[in-house]
Structure 1
Amino acid sequence: MITTVTLNAAIDKTYTVSSFEMNRVLRIGEMIAVAGGKGVNVARVVHTLGEPVTAAGFAAGFNGQFIRQSLDEEGIGHDFIEVPGESRLCLTVLDTQNGTQTELLEPGPRIPPPSLEELKSRIASLAAASTHVCFSGSLPAGCPADLYAELIRLTRLAGAEAVLDASGDALAAGLEARPLLIKPNEHEIERLLGRAASSDEDLAGCIRELMGRGIRHVIVSLGGRGALAGSGGRLRRVQLPPVAAVNPVGSGDAMVAGMITAIRRGFSDADMVRFGAACGSANALHAQAGVVTMEEVERLHREIRVTDY
């Protein structure tokens, strides 16, 4: 089993409008509302790829009930801890005329200390039944910056591998526990190492440094330009075919889902990142985050190029 952990789960609501203009009354052309948060998106793609998965983390209030019900309807297993307050609502507004996307993200609930202790016990139990545990997204209020690091250590003690897709202080602290895989973008890796990375050569140096700290897979996403990927001391460039993107939100989560699935299935390092990139590109073809089809993934997997850097 793969476990995904979303500490700040959400309802992801996407509005499609013909033109998003300020200071106006806008009528929504199309609306989609689903369970969301980065780890939930990962779980949705893992489920589509055919691997057993459980989505875990915190959920609160009526929005938390919606999250659980939505996952039930999709056939995705879940094990959320109920906390006081209300899970957040995350809005994405897609402007079809101007080709823009605007995101409005609520902060979510504050996590009380007893719930943090319950989380540690729950993660240890889930990790014991999993091959991989994926920690994704921001830390809600009440969580210490080193929480991911502690959870990664608990995961390893239980016999599973940990993947971390976070940013800022949570990512920096989490690196100390040496997760199997991280996926920062260009800006996150600059903040992480405290220096500019204005060229691919700079980024390659950053990747080598992070691999030197004991992280086997370091994938730096470059948006439409693909990615630079380091695995086991070796660097590769990932080149994507052109796609008619509808909504890129969630593509990074889909990429993580694909890479975890590939590792679980014993793919080579090169094919692991190719499969992950195929899932990320497939996600961009849909308005809803965390949605791919096997047909799209298989087609893109054949078209993506991975070469030594």
Structure 2
Amino acid sequence: MILTVTLNVALDVTYTVDRLVPHSTHRVTAVAQRAGGKGVNVARVLHALGEPVVATGLAGGPTGARVRELLTADGIAEAFAPVAADARRTVVVGDGEDATGFWEPGPVVTPDEWQAFTAHFSGLLPGVRLVVLSGSLPAGVPEAAYAELVALAHAAGADTILDADGAPLRHGLSAAPNLVKPNAYELRALTGLSAADPATAAQAVAAVRDLGARDIVASLGAGGLAAATADGRWRARLPHPLTGNPTGAGDACVAALARAHVHGLPWPQRLREAVAVSAAAVAVPYAGAFDPAVYRDLHPQIEITPWATPAAG
């Protein structure tokens, strides 16, 4: 079983408009309301892929209760721990070509609530093969939270995937997660190296492995995925760019990588799955879902190429 962790869960609201024009009024053509947050999105995609999954994290107040209700209604097993403060909402405005997001900051979590969650998390670990830890931390949760949870998971015999940014990612790397999945922005923040060209991207990915990650898969937007693993290095990408809503593509990528990990697929096959599922997510107007027909169409088109190890110095 896979356990996903979303410490800053959200109620996602997606507005669809014909065209987004800053500083103007828009007529919304469709509204979708879903349980959200990066780990929840991962759980949704895993559920759609037929993978046993349980979603946990912190969910407080009426908004948190609504998130839990929506997950249950969609058939996704949840084991969220309550906190006193209300969970956040996120708003995404999509126009068919791109999307603009507005993220609320989330609740303030007390030290006692965090301690209670770590005990709750430990109680969920028996029988879990992989823990996916994703997203931002609400106020009050320590910056080293992911490092603590990675260590607890490893002690219980579970592997880990970490998808975070900033200080939580840097601290989390110190606990040696099995896989991390930064994007180009996060690569630069961690290493000071741009992922704009293949040479510096290769150096940045290698540098993240040196910080503690066992394997790394970096998402480079239109540049596809760059992987540096114990088994080798590869690039994986589509032969042509896609338009649509990229909001949930990274979470879909993580879900595909998680599923491939527990099934022990070879790395080139893992990357093919990750690119196909994340690209199919761009075809859907909200996060936490993908278009199966687009997935099937794109899967054989993905280009997988070996990536040479960057020269030292």
Q: Same fold (TM over 0.5)?
A: yes
Structure 1 counterpart of 2:160, one-letter code: A
The C-alpha deviation readout for 1:195-229, integer Å capped at 9, x for no partner, is 44442111112222333455232111111221211
Structure 2 CA distance for aligned equivalents of residues 267 and 100 of structure 1:
32
The offset of 1:118, in angstroms, is 1.4
Match of 2:83 in 1: 83
Structure 2 counterpart of 1:174, one-letter code: G
- Contact kept, 8 Å, 2:43 with 2:255, in 1: the verdict is yes
Residues 252 and 149 (structure 1 numbering): CA distance in 2 closer, same or farther, change over 3 Å? Answer: same
Match of 1:49 in 2: 49
The offset of 1:51, in angstroms, is 0.8
Structure 1 counterpart of 2:106, one-letter code: G
Residues 9 and 177 (structure 1 numbering): CA distance in 2 closer, same or farther, change over 3 Å? Answer: same
Structure 2 CA distance for aligned equivalents of residues 71 and 29 of structure 1:
25
- Contact kept, 8 Å, 1:228 with 1:238, in 2: the verdict is yes
Note if 1:4 corresponds to 2:17. no
Match runs of 1:16-31 below 5 Å: 16-31=16-31
Residues 295 and 191 (structure 1 numbering): CA distance in 2 closer, same or farther, change over 3 Å? Answer: same
Match runs of 1:295-306 below 5 Å: 295-306=293-304
The offset of 1:297, in angstroms, is 2.7
Match runs of 1:102-121 below 5 Å: 102-121=100-119
The offset of 1:293, in angstroms, is 4.1
Counterpart of 1:257 (choices 249, 255, 258) is 255
Structure 1 CA distance for aligned equivalents of residues 304 and 147 of structure 2:
31
Please provide the CA RMSD for this pair: 1.6
Give the TM-score of the pair, scaled to structure 1: 0.94
The offset of 1:137, in angstroms, is 0.2
Question: 5+ residue gaps in structure 1?
Answer: none
The C-alpha deviation readout for 1:65-85, integer Å capped at 9, x for no partner, is 111111111100000111112
The offset of 1:129, in angstroms, is 2.1
The offset of 1:5, in angstroms, is 0.3
Match of 1:62 in 2: 62
Match of 2:311 in 1: none
Structure 2 CA distance for aligned equivalents of residues 45 and 241 of structure 1:
24
The offset of 1:30, in angstroms, is 0.7
Structure 2 counterpart of 1:173, one-letter code: H
Structure 1 CA distance for aligned equivalents of residues 156 and 292 of structure 2:
32
DSSP-derived class of the 1:287 partner: coil
- Contact kept, 8 Å, 1:245 with 1:286, in 2: the verdict is no
The offset of 1:270, in angstroms, is 1.0
Structure 2 CA distance for aligned equivalents of residues 146 and 263 of structure 1:
25
The offset of 1:233, in angstroms, is 5.5
The C-alpha deviation readout for 1:220-255, integer Å capped at 9, x for no partner, is 111122121111162111121436532111100000
- Contact kept, 8 Å, 1:211 with 1:232, in 2: the verdict is no
Choose 296-305 or 259-268, whichever is displaced more. 296-305
Counterpart of 1:228 (choices 217, 226, 229) is 226
DSSP-derived class of the 1:80 partner: coil
Choose 136-145 or 197-206, whichever is displaced more. 197-206
The offset of 1:183, in angstroms, is 0.8
Match of 1:219 in 2: 217
Structure 2 CA distance for aligned equivalents of residues 148 and 172 of structure 1:
9
Structure 2 CA distance for aligned equivalents of residues 20 and 307 of structure 1:
37
Question: 5+ residue gaps in structure 2?
Answer: 308-313
Structure 2 CA distance for aligned equivalents of residues 117 and 101 of structure 1:
37
Residues 265 and 247 (structure 1 numbering): CA distance in 2 closer, same or farther, change over 3 Å? Answer: same
Note if 1:171 corresponds to 2:181. no
DSSP-derived class of the 2:125 partner: helix
DSSP-derived class of the 1:81 partner: coil
Residues 121 and 282 (structure 1 numbering): CA distance in 2 closer, same or farther, change over 3 Å? Answer: same
DSSP-derived class of the 1:41 partner: helix
Residues 185 and 75 (structure 1 numbering): CA distance in 2 closer, same or farther, change over 3 Å? Answer: same
Structure 1 CA distance for aligned equivalents of residues 284 and 144 of structure 2:
34
- Contact kept, 8 Å, 1:167 with 1:184, in 2: the verdict is yes
Note if 1:308 corresponds to 2:306. yes
